[in-house]
Amino acid sequence: MTLKTAMLAAALALATTAGALAQSGTLKIVSSLPRTGSANAQTGSIVNGIKMAIAEVGGKIDGYEIVYEDWDDASPQRGNWDPTVEAQNANRAVTDPTIVGYIGTFNSGAAKIAMPELNKAGLVMISPANTYSGLTKPGMGEANEPAIYRPSGSINYFRVVPTDDLQGAVAAEHVASSGAKKVFILHDRELYGKGIADVFQKRAKELGITVAGFEGIDTKASNYKSLCQKVKFSKADAVFFGGTTQSNGGQVAKDLRSVGFTGILVVPDGCCEEAFIQAAGAANLEGNTFVTFGGLPPSELTGRGAEFREGYRKMFGFDPEAYAVYGYESARVLLDAIKRAPTKDRAAILKAVSSTKDFDGALGIWSFDVNGDTTNRVMSINAVKDGKFVFVHRAGDAPTGGAKPE
Amino acid sequence: MEWVDFFLQQLITGLSNGMIIALIAIGYTMVYGIIELINFAHGDLFMLGAFLALTMLGMFGLGDWSGASAWAAVVIMLIASAGFCGALNWGIDRLAYKPLRDASKLSLLVSAIGASFILVNLGLFWGGLPMDVFAGGVAAAAPKDFPALVPNSNLLGESSLVQFTPKDVLVWAVTVPLMIGLTWIVTRTRLGKAMRATAQNPVAARLMGIDTDRVIGATFLIGGALGGFASVIYSLYNNTISFQMGYRAGMDAFTAAVLGGIGSMPGAVAGALVIGLVRSMSDAYFETRWTNTIVFGILVLILIFRPSGLLGSRAKEKV
């Protein structure tokens, strides 16, 4: 009897102390990004950005230890993100109660799988890279989007990158301002690639550019010579490819040049990585290929962004890739919300993230809007020179090449 | 007459692509002809040949290749990759298939699939080696750029809309003599005779004093070597290699072998040329996304009306 009473007393005492000391324990943040395959160079730098943000708060918030885990959503078989693995990651996150934030995904198609699962669990998800508009914006994607990703009815998905409806339009505007009159549109038949190609086509038509063709490619083909010859014979003076390095963007660029196409090629941010230049061969891109990117390249960041760039270089010893800053920003906005949340549970943190307003980030001062999108609309056009991406001009927020003010 | 130019262009592209497929297809069809095994590892063997070629280029240095030194490099790569793939294929037969000679065909097939997995992962590992040609190996699975040793200049003059380049010449100049040589080996030499005998009836061949294991080994060696030649030509023609390229190349080649009549060498070549041309025409005149549908649609149609393939023997299935 006495023993039992003593134990009870001890347990009671422990419970009260725990309550009195407010909180302590572990809060876990995970990221789900393709870490196997050619996207790894980008995702590696996103992960570095996340680590850097956590290191900046000393790995602790209000007495809670912040633990970070870097999960892979790719499989070696696909060399790319894998729906099965992404689903496993989402389930794993939902069932681990210490996880309070899910940073991911890299690919919009992967987000489609994780979003409804995490939504049901009320776990906040912040993407550093998904740009497909339909994930958040009503009327921009399929009819049932984005409601289908929000079975609970509330929003748990946020992103710090500007979306494709802005990016595709900026790409079309760039083609128009380059003086091209006829464009051939290719895409990889994936959610992201086809989505951005659709936006591009719509905007190109508005700008009076003739669309010579709109075709989905076979992303596993050994070459695209016949297709590229068709492009050449169509007398198009520009090509837009909606796709990524992983969906064979490099080979498309290479074969366009090998058949003697002389116009410009414009590709979206899915190709904004070193691996794209390596796959295509730098000489094939030199001076004639343009990459749109949601945001500014690291070299153009100012203020807090410049501090980020310097800090990153100091911490890791090399320059950040284009997406690093988004990894950093995702983690920072999440950590900021954890700090502001009165209790450190999923619901309170989710609420704190959604109320993020005038966040002073590396990308400027921005907020999350009602859809969970960033209010940051800065875009950039980049070219390839001497095997490196070089910044050409800023677009999106300020009208360029006939952009309509919004 | 722009449409004539366009059509001619597709013929050139289609035939060049077809020729490359043909070299791989022969490897499938030879092995099937002799031990009735669909060697699923063959496409991945071909992939490793391309990795060897790129590694060699990396070791020679990636400077400016032009003129004679480029052609010398091409010849060295062709010989090295052919030797490597031939030896590897022979080794795979010894390790993975020979112990199963008397087992059921299904065990053999599963063994081939296993060998294919091993080779793919070897390629993935290889692409991660810290070499300049693999971009330091940071992204093992990323497609690798293969330097354009063979120029892409237009032999018909730069003003011509139709492009016929040294790349196309290379493909033809390597493939056609190889096929003639192979035909000569199979029809005119003692080894060829032994191969045909083993294919027809291994037991009888053994009774006649033919060392069938040696003959089968030679078949793997020759088939693998052709895959090696194909890997270098493919790399020089497409200028990109990746650890996954064996899958699609193998799929096309296997389809070609079945289309032409599996077991028949002229059939494999004919099937490959048909596939190359159909792919090219479909990409050009329809839409790329229908190309696979059309290729396999044709395969289905041919197999319905000619189950033994275009040039397959109509002989009864030997038991």
Give A132-166 pLDDT, tens digit per residue.
889 999 888 888 889 999 999 999 999 999 888 88
Q: Examine residue A89 and state whether it is found in any structural domain, yes or no.
A: yes
Task: Return the closest-CA partner of residue A133 out of A155, A156, A111.
Answer: A111
Same domain membership, residue A135 and residue A103: yes
Q: Does residue A328 surpass a pLDDT of 50?
A: yes
> What is the CATH classification number for the domain harbouring A197?
3.40.50.2300
CB-nearest partner of B288 from A215, A233, A274: A215
Same domain membership, residue A385 and residue A248: yes
Residues from A contacting B (CB-CB < 8 Å) are 36-41, 44, 76, 79, 189, 215-218, 220-227, 229-230, 233, 245, 248, 250-251, 254, 258-260, 274-275, 278-281
Domain ranges of chain B: 9-124+160-305
- The confidence score (pLDDT) of residue B315 equals 52
Q: From CA A331, how far away is CA A127, in angstroms rounded?
A: 10
SS3 assignment for A92-135: HHHHCCCEEEEEECCCHHHHHHHHHHHHHHCCCEEECCCCCHHH
Percent of chain B with pLDDT over 90: 69
Same domain membership, residue A385 and residue A258: yes
- Average model confidence (pLDDT) across chain B: 90
Q: Does residue B9 surpass a pLDDT of 70?
A: yes
Q: Is-contact A386 A288, C-beta < 8 A?
A: no
Measured between beta carbons, which residues in chain A are less than 8 angstroms from residue B296? none
Q: Examine residue A401 and state whether it is found in any structural domain, yes or no.
A: no
CA dihedral A264, A269, A270, A274 (to 10 degrees): 80
CB contact under 8 A, A251 and B240: yes
Average pLDDT over residues B183-200: 93
Same domain membership, residue A54 and residue A173: no
Same domain membership, residue A140 and residue A173: no
The band of A121, judged by pLDDT with boundaries at 50, 70 and 90, is very high
Give the sign of the dihedral formed by CA A124, CA A125, CA A128, CA A129. Answer: negative
Same domain membership, residue A128 and residue A42: yes
Measured between beta carbons, which residues in chain B are less than 8 angstroms from residue A220? 244, 247-248
Measured between beta carbons, which residues in chain A are less than 8 angstroms from residue B121? 76
**Least CA distance to A251: which residue of chain B?**
B240
Q: Does residue A262 surpass a pLDDT of 80?
A: yes
- The confidence score (pLDDT) of residue A291 equals 94
The band of A188, judged by pLDDT with boundaries at 50, 70 and 90, is very high
Residue of A17 and B214 predicted with greater confidence: B214
Give tens-digit pLDDT for A201-237. Answer: 999 999 999 999 999 999 889 999 999 999 999 999 9
Percent of chain B with pLDDT over 70: 96
Give tens-digit pLDDT for B131-158. Answer: 888 877 777 778 889 988 888 888 888 8
Average pLDDT over residues A16-20: 42
CA dihedral B30, B31, B34, B38 (to 10 degrees): -120
Give the sign of the dihedral formed by CA B217, CA B219, CA B223, CA B228. Answer: positive
Give tens-digit pLDDT for A74-116. Answer: 987 777 899 999 999 999 999 999 999 999 899 999 999 999 9
Q: Examine residue A15 and state whether it is found in any structural domain, yes or no.
A: no
**What number of other Cβ atoms are within 10 A of residue B35's Cβ?**
22
Same domain membership, residue A348 and residue A229: no
Q: Does residue A16 surpass a pLDDT of 80?
A: no
**Inter-axis angle of helices B190-200 and B2-35, to 10 degrees?**
70
Q: Examine residue A313 and state whether it is found in any structural domain, yes or no.
A: yes
Q: How many domains does one find in chain A?
A: 2
**What number of other Cβ atoms are within 10 A of residue A213's Cβ?**
16
* Interface mutation target, options A75, A218, A232, A241, chain B, most CBs of B under 10 Å: A218
Same domain membership, residue A340 and residue A245: no
d(CA B214, nearest CA chain A) in Å: 35
CB-nearest partner of B291 from A36, A218, A280: A218
Q: Does residue B291 surpass a pLDDT of 80?
A: yes
Q: Which CATH number fits domain B9-124+160-305: 1.10.3210, 1.10.260, 1.10.3470, 2.50.20?
A: 1.10.3470
Same domain membership, residue A108 and residue A59: yes
Q: Does residue A406 surpass a pLDDT of 50?
A: no
The band of A126, judged by pLDDT with boundaries at 50, 70 and 90, is very high
Q: Examine residue A150 and state whether it is found in any structural domain, yes or no.
A: yes
Same domain membership, residue A93 and residue A143: yes
Left (φ > 0), alpha (ψ -120 to 50) or beta: where does A381 sit? beta
Give tens-digit pLDDT for B74-102. Answer: 999 999 999 999 999 999 999 999 999 88
Query: By residue range, what is the domain housing residue A286?
Result: 164-293+379-395
- The confidence score (pLDDT) of residue A190 equals 87
Name the H helices within A211-365: 225-233, 249-258, 274-280, 282-285, 304-316, 324-340, 346-354
Same domain membership, residue A391 and residue A358: no
The interface pTM score, or ipTM, of the predicted complex is: 0.89
Give the sign of the dihedral formed by CA A133, CA A134, CA A136, CA A140. Answer: positive
Q: From CA A9, how far away is CA A106, in angstroms rounded?
A: 50
Judged on CB neighbours under 10 Å (0-12, 13-18, 19+), A155 is buried
**What number of other Cβ atoms are within 10 A of residue A311's Cβ?**
17
CB contact under 8 A, A76 and B141: yes
Same domain membership, residue A48 and residue A34: yes
Q: Examine residue A13 and state whether it is found in any structural domain, yes or no.
A: no
Residue of A118 and B308 predicted with greater confidence: A118
Residue of B22 and A318 predicted with greater confidence: B22
